[in-house]
Amino acid sequence: MTQPTTHDSARRPTYLRWVVAFACWLVVIWGHSLVQGPQSAMESDLVASVLRPLFEAAGVADPATMSLVVRKGAHFLEYAVLGVLGRGMLHARRLERGSSPFPAALMVPLVAVVDECLQLFVPGRSGMPSDVLIDLGGLVAGALVGCLVSAALDRRRA
């Protein structure tokens, strides 16, 4: 395996930076999971009220449906960001260390399972298998976006 040149490594964010960003985002996700049910519902309702004109334009008038879409959308988006960060972290590991990210890549989806398990111990919250699936969908979407952006940047540099 060849080591990246100084020029190459200066252009790419390092593995450690990706790890730190990934860990910080985990704190955000798990921090949201530890918010008690009533406060979490208030946050979702506030976002739904801000987005109300968009919902109504889409034909959605029921506040409960709006709140549900906001809550499930938040799951998806949180994990889409995690997917981008996870993809970046694993890619940087492969580039810098020359090792396969495969075993570590299997650990990333476990974050969603841990997240839902945390919610089992928070008053007013529940861990739901359907949320794990939404989280995993966001994770995959984010990883794909990360791949597409990386490929576009590589083509642009070439």
Name the residue ranges covered by the structural domains of the chain: 6-33+74-157
Residue 102 exposed, middle or buried by CB count within 10 Å (0-12, 13-18, 19+) = exposed
pLDDT band at 98 (very low <50, low <70, confident <90, very high): confident
Portion of the chain with pLDDT greater than 90, in percent: 72
Burial of 22-40, coded b for 16+ CB within 10 Å and e otherwise, reads beebeeebeebbebeeeeb
pLDDT band at 9 (very low <50, low <70, confident <90, very high): low
From the CB of residue 45, how many other CB atoms can be counted at a distance below 10 Å? 16
pLDDT of residue 147 exceeding 70, the answer is yes
Average pLDDT over all residues of the chain: 89
d(CA 27, CA 6): 32
> Which range has the worst mean pLDDT, 2-16, 29-43, 114-128?
2-16
The tokens of 66 are what?
């709006």
pTM: 0.85
> Which range has the worst mean pLDDT, 15-19, 94-98, 145-149?
94-98
